[in-house]
Amino acid sequence: MKKLKLDKAKLKGLMNLDVKDLKAILLKGSNKINSLKKVEKKRTVVAFDIGSTSIKISQGMYYKENLSIDKFIEIPTPKGAISDGIIENKELLISKIGTALKENSISAKEGICTTNSTLIINREVMIPNVEEDEMETVVRYEIQQYLPINLDDYILQMTVIGEEFSDEGKRLAVRAIAYPERMARGYHELLIALHLKPYALDVNYNSLNKLINFVDDINEYEYNPKDSLVFIDMGANCLDVNIYNDGILKFTRIIKAGGSYLDEALNETLNISKNEIETLKAKSINLSDEELDNQNTLVRDTIDEWIDKTEKIIQFYKNKNVGNEVDKIFIYGGTSKLNGLTNYMTLKLGINTTRIKSIPKITLKSNNSSGEHIDNFVNVIGSIIRL
């Protein structure tokens, strides 16, 4: 039993989601703050974003507020190896990733995994202004008032994101992330099997949060820290919609839709192969065309469903945060490359939408062409930034 608790404690240590910020806020003005400062170590790490259809790998270093990336690799995910973030076939992943690391001369000794899943619980809760050692107990109680789950099966991390005052006293707004222990163990064991020292486990929206706070602009858009920004990761099976305001994650939702759904619709209608579908999307699909043929109409109708769901998410956020308008939408990932998509979304949503094409302030040392497709690696690059 003691060994189980020790193992879980180690896993929780790897889920270091902005723990420094949490402690700094709680201990503000305390002489304990100095004891929390870490000796920053110069280390090269390799990070993995393992999705349902592809695995993104980046090797890089974050040191003294400088981020450099020297390797970008993207390989297909073995079929059946992962489902909604849960590793289902570890051996397949070990073989596939191990070969990629060897072929690309990855020399890092420490590893990071970042992912997203409908199984990861993310909630903002308001709690009394309690002492640090009481916070987890209070947050657990609040979460279980609304969710019929056994939190013993989760690794809980908390970040204070704000505070409010009333006649009843000070209250804290806490971002609570409950990460399934089974999922965490799977990634931990994967890194060990790849002969890497597990350095951190992360969640994609947290990786992205660190990245947008690290850079000053995306593409040529210099955003104000007070801006409300929507980032949509357009993956194969999910659209991850994340909304940030004042540099803090305010809202996140997963839409069960994505490139694979679009491919299936095209396959059923046109009866063409996967390779032909990719060529078709690159050369023949354009949502900006005034007169759409059948295949473009099919794509537009599918995109309309996604936009409708996205609009409802944005409206829900605005209803909860009266006075906060959305200033800009950034899209990235495979499906974001559809011709005319950004203009079409801008027209339908009434919010300027752009695809991430460049991220200044990052030193790119990669010799391959993946630097041209940096939007594919947004999550995994952000995971390398450790606070």
What single string gives the DSSP state of each residue in 210-225?
HHHHH-SEETTEE--T
CATH for the stretch 253-355:
3.30.420.40
Q: Which CATH number fits domain 40-215+359-384: 3.40.50.10320, 3.40.50.2300, 1.10.3470.10, 3.30.420.380?
A: 3.30.420.380
pLDDT at 19: 33
Domain boundaries, the chain: 40-215+359-384, 253-355
pLDDT at 17: 46
DSSP string, 193-211: HTT-EEEEEEEHHHHHHHH
pLDDT at 160: 86
Q: What does the longest C-alpha to C-alpha distance in the chain come to? A: 68
Average pLDDT along the chain: 86
Token duo for residue 50 = 């393992």
Which whole number is the average pLDDT over 235-255?
A: 93
Tell me the per-residue pLDDT of 273-304, one tens digit each, with 9 for 90 and over: 888 888 888 888 899 877 778 888 999 999 99
Q: Are 111 and 199 in contact (CB under 8 A)?
A: yes
User: Predicted confidence band at 220 (pLDDT cuts at 50, 70, 90)?
Assistant: confident
Fold match between 40-215+359-384 and 253-355? yes
Tell me which H or E stretch contains 95: helix 90-103
pLDDT at 8: 66
Which whole number is the average pLDDT over 210-228?
A: 88
Tell me the per-residue pLDDT of 3-60, one tens digit each, with 9 for 90 and over: 444 466 666 666 654 433 323 333 333 333 233 344 567 899 999 999 989 999 999 9
Model confidence pTM above 0.75 = yes
